[in-house]
Each structure stands twice: as C-alpha cells, then as structure tokens.
Structure 1
C-alpha cells in the first residue's frame, strides 16, 4: 500500500500477499506504474528498496519500502492573476471548476489569460511547482470540472481510466424542446464533418459514441437534462443532442444563439474516478454557474 503523499515521490509498503515477488512485479502490478515510467525511473536510478538503490529483479519481503523518485518537470506557463475554484486537490492532482469563457490552455488566438496561466499563478501563491498536465478538456464556453495531474504518474493513472471509460462524467444541459422520454441513450458514431474541420457530425464511419440522458425538469418548450457520457468524443453531447432534435440552448455551432444566455448551456457537474495511490473512488462536484441558473429561472417563468 502507498504510505506517503508527496507529488514527486511514491512510497509503497510491501504487503503479505506480495512477499516473494520481484520489485518490478510490485511496481507494475500493484503500484500500477506504466512500463514507460518504469524505464525512465530505472535509467535514472530512481528506484529504491528500503532507501537504497536496487535492482528491479530484487525479491521483496513483507514490510519492505519501495520508493520511486519522479522527475521534476518545470511549469512552463506564465502566471496570470486569475482566481480558480478548486473542487479537489491532493499531492497528485487537482479538480477545478472552470467558469465559462475561459480557454483551458494557451493557443495562437489565446496566448495568455487561460486556465493554465491561472494554475501557474496558483502554484506561485501556494509555493508549488509542477508541470500542468490536463487530463480532460472543456470547450471555452462549457463550464465545469477539469482534471489536472501534477505528475506523469498521476496523469497515466487517471488517463488509463479515461481510455477504459471508467471515469464517470455527468453534465447538465438545457436543451430546445420538451424531451418526451424520461430516459434515453444515444448510440451514434461521430466524426469530423470535413478533414481539419472543427464541426463534428453523426455518420456511419465515425468513432463509436454513446450518451445517456434523463430529464431533470421540463419547461414550456425546453428541457433540463442530466447527461452521462459513456465515451468522450469531441463535442459529443452537443452533437448527439442536436442529432435527436434537442440542441443545447445557446449553442451557435450546432443549434442557434439565445437571447437568455450567450454560450451553450452545458456544464460538467460531476466526475468520479479512482484516485492515484489506491483504489479509493473520488467524486467531485461543481455547482451550476450563475448564467445557467438564471436561464433555468427564466424558462420556469415563461
């Protein structure tokens, strides 16, 4: 079991069931370290057994301490004084409630003033220094939870869960029209409309894409949906809801603009995953932002 909470140091105490295994077996199968990271630690002599450098073929005993020292990768983003809403943080990762209209990381069009720059500023103020590794991303106009890893180990651990669809992702969306069925599943492959195009469409040769939804509330001509992603394609919720005739309110790309909100009414409300250094499941929530709450009030009073 893991016995420490330090960003760039992993310490694991060998349990009875692991007695007689090689160091490499414990690291790979019980600490869940990727082969790439093992090779890197091995080549840099960053694997210790009971505080001494060791061969990865050394046999372990109950109570032995295996230590991996992770490389320190410098933060490369300029700090910008932007406040962030931290929903969860430990030595390995952060979960941030991203507001709408904030770009996740610098681009040609947005070289600064991004979430990455805000995290850099937070690091400066909290006396931390880690490379910001985004595990998931949200569109500029979508609000809600963004996960950030503080080390290559944490990124690999949670990204593998993402790839296996083991991370539960729940969104809220306000959509056009009254959705008649209380619950439903949209199973429709998604692909780019054209090569290099940002627009995605449902088409037979697309990637498998599955979205589950249930109606949280119905209004006069609109619906509030609770949406759960089974897969995570670019623009998946926006494409799927438009595909079934219930485009997201304010979505100018896949629907139409709204007089009541100046972005798509889509919010990543909850994410659930196994945290690094153990199998404990973490559930992170981010409350609905003010603009979506106001939109819902308007629709209730139509």
Structure 2
C-alpha cells in the first residue's frame, strides 16, 4: 500500500527543478529525494518525472514514501503497550528495565526486537527508526518513525524544540518551591565518564518542574525538558539534593523499594509528521512507581 506526500506547486515556486522544489520548499532531504527519484516514486500530475523536471504552477506532485527496507534485528514476540499508531508513526509505552535497541550486552529482548515482530505480524514493511530514546531503567513513551520522512520530520521537530516531553519522577525529600525552573549547565569531567554533573563549562540545560503531590518522605514531580541533555532530569534533581528513588548513578540503590530509578516519560505533545495535526499522548504511572508511593511515601 502506497503512502504518499501530496504537494501542489504555488506560483512563487514554479520554474524550479523538481529536486530543488522538494528540497528547498518542502524540506525533504537530498538523500531521500535522490533515492525516490532512482526508484521512480515521484509523480507529477500522475506521471513519473525525472528530478530535473521544471515544475509549473498548479502541478500536483505525489511522493511515495513507501519502499522496501530491511534491518538486522531479530523479530521477537512480546506484549507492546501501543499508545498511538498509523502509517507514519508508532508511539509505545516502554516497560521498565527494557533496553530500547540491541547492543552487544543486550542482543535480544529489546523494544526494537518486539517492534520488528509487530511490523512482521501486521504485514508492515517498516524498520525501527527511533526518534526518541530512554534509558533501560526509565519507562514511558518512545516515538518511532515508520518511514524515512516521518523520522526526518520528527527528529527536526525535536531539534527545534517543537516536541513537548513531560516526565513523572518520585524524589527523596520535599522541594522547597512547588514549581520552578532549573537552569544549570551539565557536562562530564572526563570523556570516558558515564556520569554527568552540573559543571560551569557544561552545556546549558533547562528543566521546568511542578510538585504534583507531597508526602512525608518525598514528592511526585512533573518535569518538562526544554533541552535534552543525557540524564538531565536525574542530574538536576540530584544536584538540588533530591535524587530520584532507586537512581543508582545519581542517588543510591534501593531494591527493597524499587529496582530502577522512579522516572517515567508520561506525556508527549507533537505535530504529526505528515498532517502536522497536534497530537497529545500520555500513559499512566507504572505499577512499580504506584507501589512506591502507596507502600513507602504515604
């Protein structure tokens, strides 16, 4: 089944080569345009045209973004919590303690393995194009573009801060201010260090927060990232003296309470990569974080 981008040439864009029109006015990548041209996936007024075709006012351009693709990831049956899916995009609520993409130490059992199985079972010719990622121990919403165009547009939106990402965290102690902004630079002392810190010479990092519930032993906090540094929320909260429960790297191991950091990517606000319609997606707090609140914080 074809998945087409449809464009109509306006007066100010006519007399351009097809490749230049698609690149400069529809913001498609040169690589994507070249590949589609070679594979004859671009039509003008219903007829396949070469990339040096001169576009005219009123021309209808159809760009088929469906193509044969393969990826060296083993499909594995697993239960996926799919929050949204259409021809261009799939958003999944990742379980805690799950690696997103296969690595040497985790070749199987990853979210990507489950997605490949899902695509295979539903006869979708897709590969796993991750737009966003989460640490193994962080649960919540992850975006996957189902074609080259969706991945390109969503990645660009992320870079241009057009994607709203909100998290829920359970932290030690009670924040002095119930809402605010943490604007502190984050960096690494050495290139080979996994751990990040608030460092004067680091990259500017901005986290907005609001305390949703205060308990005697901690707070449930909603956080929104304005910048997307590695471990940003964990570093900022730890620096304020309120590390996330179960955060081994920036706090302490607390397996008797929760076996991972109590951090959950619960909400996304995005523009659909093709229609540009606003999508607001969210998922519930996972059971292990609910249990931490019920059994320990209250």
Common fold, TM-score beyond 0.5?
Answer: yes
Aligned residue in 1 for 2:6 = 12
CA shift, 1:170, in A, is: 0.2
2:172 to 171, 176, 191: 176
TM-score of the superposed pair, with normalisation by structure 1: 0.90
CA shift, 1:63, in A, is: 6.4
Q: After TM superposition, list the pairs within 5 Å mapping 1:166-205 onto structure 2.
A: 166-205=162-201
1:257 to 253, 257, 267: 253
Query: 1:100-138 deviations in whole A, cap 9, x for unaligned?
Result: 011101111111111111111111221223111111110
Aligned residue in 2 for 1:3 = none
CA shift, 1:25, in A, is: 5.5
SS at match of 1:11: strand
SS at match of 1:162: helix
* Structure 1, unaligned runs of 5 or more: 1-5
Aligned residue in 2 for 1:222 = 218
Aligned residue in 2 for 1:273 = 270
TM-score of the superposed pair, with normalisation by structure 2: 0.92
Partners of 1:47 and 1:69 within 8 A in 2: no
Query: 1:57-101 deviations in whole A, cap 9, x for unaligned?
Result: 422343624324554221321011211100011111110000001
Q: What CA distance in whole angstroms lies between the structure 1 residues aligned with 2:19 and 2:279?
A: 28
Asked whether 1:49 is paired with 2:44, we answer yes
1:289 to 263, 281, 286: 286
Partners of 1:76 and 1:131 within 8 A in 2: no
Check 1:281–1:142 CA distance in 2 against 1; reply closer, same or farther (3 A cut). same
Q: What CA distance in whole angstroms lies between the structure 1 residues aligned with 2:166 and 2:264?
A: 9
Aligned residue in 1 for 2:77 = 81
Q: What CA distance in whole angstroms lies between the structure 2 residues aligned with 1:158 and 1:60?
A: 29
Residues paired across the two proteins, number: 295
Structure 1: 4+ residue segments shifted above 4 A: 15-19
CA shift, 1:227, in A, is: 0.1
Check 1:275–1:29 CA distance in 2 against 1; reply closer, same or farther (3 A cut). farther
* Structure 2, unaligned runs of 5 or more: none
